[in-house]
A and B are shown apart, each in its own frame.
Chain A
Amino acid sequence: MTTKTYVPNPVSPRVLGHHWSAKADRLQSATGVLMGVFLLFHLHFESSILLGKDAFYHVVHFLEGSIFSDDGKGFPIITQIISVFMLAVFVLHALTALRRFPTQLGQWRALQSSLNTIRHSDTRIWYFQLLTGAALFFLVPVHLFEMIQAPNIGPNMSAERVYHDNTWVLYALLLPAVVVHAVFGLYRVAVKWGLTFQRHKLRRFAHGLMIYLMVLGIASLMCYLLIGSELTLPVTPYSPS
């Protein structure tokens, strides 16, 4: 009988690279968390319209730095600066996340085959993230460019944009995609880096958060549509009575 003995090679004392893999992984998680947290605030701020036009008016002007302006109306350029910043974060996230995207037909077939053969909920959740990520790749820049170009935010101007300019179509597509992608993205970052091992509790929380954000987003979108339908053109910016 002959046997083959494996003699280990001398271990290299050098690290031969790969540091970009680690950096890209960190960057993807960091930009994802930043955008996920931003979304949580964003959805709550814009849904202040549910409390009335005055509430939304004051939220917008406060966030645009009204306390620092002489006329008390703030600086719309702040919205533009934040939009440009978020666009840069989005581009970084998209670039690093594209490493994960199946780029060959064979990979898509393997993925479909795996989904059909193996029943596994987290893999399905990731698949939805993949699909929503692809949708967001096209939808988010439209929203951000719109904010960079004409940041007319206010009860009447936003409602006009939603109803009369038909951007409700964009938001109707953007809302479910961004909520699913962001909520499960935050969940995945937490388990990926070992921030929690209470995975099942966290996933239940993520499901609850997703439903809550969807209800919040749909309710505020309906509210903007309702306000927009009552406006007559040309629309004038809202001023508190």
Chain B
Amino acid sequence: MSQGRTLTFNIFRFDPQQPGDKPKMVSYQLDETPGMTVFIALNRLREEQDSSLQFDFVCRAGICGSCAMVINGMPTLACRTLTSKFSDATITLMPLPGFELIGDLSVNTGKFMREIAERLKLWLHPRGDGQDIHVLEAPMDPEEAARLYELERCVECGVCVSACATKQMRETFVGAVGLMKIARFELDSRDARSVDDFYHVIGNQDGVFGCMTLLGCQDNCPKDLPHMQQIAYLRRKMSATLVSC
């Protein structure tokens, strides 16, 4: 029973906009309430103890991916992490590594996601020269739609990027989110790009062949996306294509 505990939060504090500020860990105490998530705790800390505490949130329901941070060494979403799962009542919060720090626990994942989308061309390239908006769209096979939906569940929280030591070591590596999104368009029958075209952007050391299978993406993804299977699929398919050419 977690009710009645006093939780200790050790939180990374640093504001790059504040001249002379230095990174530090600051401790806060808070009484635990039933069903408390780390997100709820952070809001209470900001309302009751320190209004300067910076962290991101939008949906509070694990949909927007904004509140991702490192909680006791695990990169995950604060809104989906119950404080009761930590038996020792001490919770350490760090910002996601590998992103531009906005302040405290807030990082700029949006900038990263936009750059990776532009670099890998992560949008649908429709078949045909002209698109007539008055013509009904061709129906999609329900099984294909289900497969696409499975990969489309990515909320771009950035957890897979932070959990990947390969990405931390190699700035140019596209990471699991890039590979997952490429796999999504590769499966889409409406997309005009061929296998070779997809592989042109990720068939190298910065793409699928740069992945060292550390599986931080697979083990930490808050949406349980099948990163391991998708990367293995891309690796096999691309390897077969490129070796034979």
User: A residues bordering B, Cβ < 8 Å?
Assistant: 6, 8-9, 11-16, 18-19, 21-26, 99-100, 102, 107, 110-111, 113-115, 117-120, 122-123, 126-127, 188, 191-194, 197, 199
Contact = CB atoms under 8 A, between A and B. Distances in A.
B242 interface: yes
Contact of B213 (A12, A127, A191): A191
20 contacts: A6-B118, A11-B192, A11-B197, A13-B197, A15-B199, A21-B203, A22-B209, A22-B242, A26-B239, A102-B169, A114-B165, A114-B168, A118-B74, A118-B216, A119-B73, A120-B165, A122-B219, A123-B215, A194-B228, A194-B235
B213 A115 contact: no
A22 B243 contact: yes
B243 A19 contact: yes
Contacts of A107: 169-170
Contact of A113 (B97, B123, B242): B97
A113 B169 CA distance: 10
B25 interface: no
B35 to A, nearest CB: 25
A107 B170 CA distance: 7
Interface string B174-197: 000000000000000000111011
A204 B22 CA distance: 43
Interface of B: 70, 72-75, 94, 97, 118, 121, 123, 125, 162-163, 165, 168-170, 192-194, 196-197, 199-200, 203-205, 207, 209, 211-216, 219-220, 228-229, 232-233, 235-236, 238-239, 241-243, 245
Main DSSP-derived SS at the A contact region: helix
B123 A6 contact: yes
Given A18-B242, A197-B229, A126 B212 contact: yes
A123 B169 contact: no
